[in-house]
Structure 1
Amino acid sequence: MTIDIREAYRRTLDDFGALVHRIRPEQWENKTPCVDWDVRALVNHVVGENRWAPELLAGRNVADLGDALDGDLLGDDPLKAFDTSAVAAAQAAGDERSLTCVVHLSFGDVRGEEYITELFADALIHTWDLARAIGADERLDPELVEACAAWFARAEEGYRQAGVIGEQQPVASGTDSQTRLLASWGRRS
Structure 2
Amino acid sequence: MTRRLDVSYMDEVPKISDIAARYQSRANAFEAKIIAVRPEQWSNQSPCTDWNARDVVRHIIDMHAAMLRPLDRTLSPAPTVDEDPLAAFRAARADVETLLHTPELATTTTETPSGPMSVEDHIDQVVSADMVLHGWDLAKATGQDPTMNPSEVLAMWPTVQHVPDKLRIPEAFGPGIIVYGPEVKVAEDSSLQDRILGLIGRDPNWTPPN
**TM-score bucket of the superposed structures, by smaller chain:** 0.7 to 0.9
Q: Which moved more, 1:100-109 or 1:134-143?
A: 100-109
1:83 aligns with 2:97: no
Counterpart residue number, 1:24: 38
Specify the code of the residue in structure 2 equivalent to 1:148: M
Give aligned-pair identity as a percent. 28
Q: How far apart in 1 are the matches of 2:167 and 2:113?
A: 14
2:60/2:127 contact within 8 Å kept: no
Q: Which has the larger radius of gyration?
A: 2
Give the superposition deviation at 1:166: 1.8
Aligned runs of 1:19-98 on 2, under 5 Å? 19-53=33-67, 55-56=68-69, 59-60=71-72, 73-97=80-104
Return closer, same or farther for 1:56/1:103 CA change in 2, 3 Å cut-off: farther
Matched, 1:136 2:150: no
Deviation of the 1:119 alpha carbon: 1.2
Greater Cα shift, 3-12 or 42-51: 3-12
In structure 2, what is the equivalent of residue 148 of structure 1? Answer: 156
TM value normalised by structure 1: 0.78
Structure 2 CA distance for partners of 1:20 and 1:176, relative to 1, 3 Å: same
Please state if 1:14 is matched with 2:28: yes
Q: CA deviation at 1:168?
A: 1.4
- Give SS of 2:86's match: helix
The farther-off stretch of 38-47 and 128-137 is: 38-47
Aligned pair count?
177
Q: Report the structure, 1 or 2, having the larger helix content.
A: 1
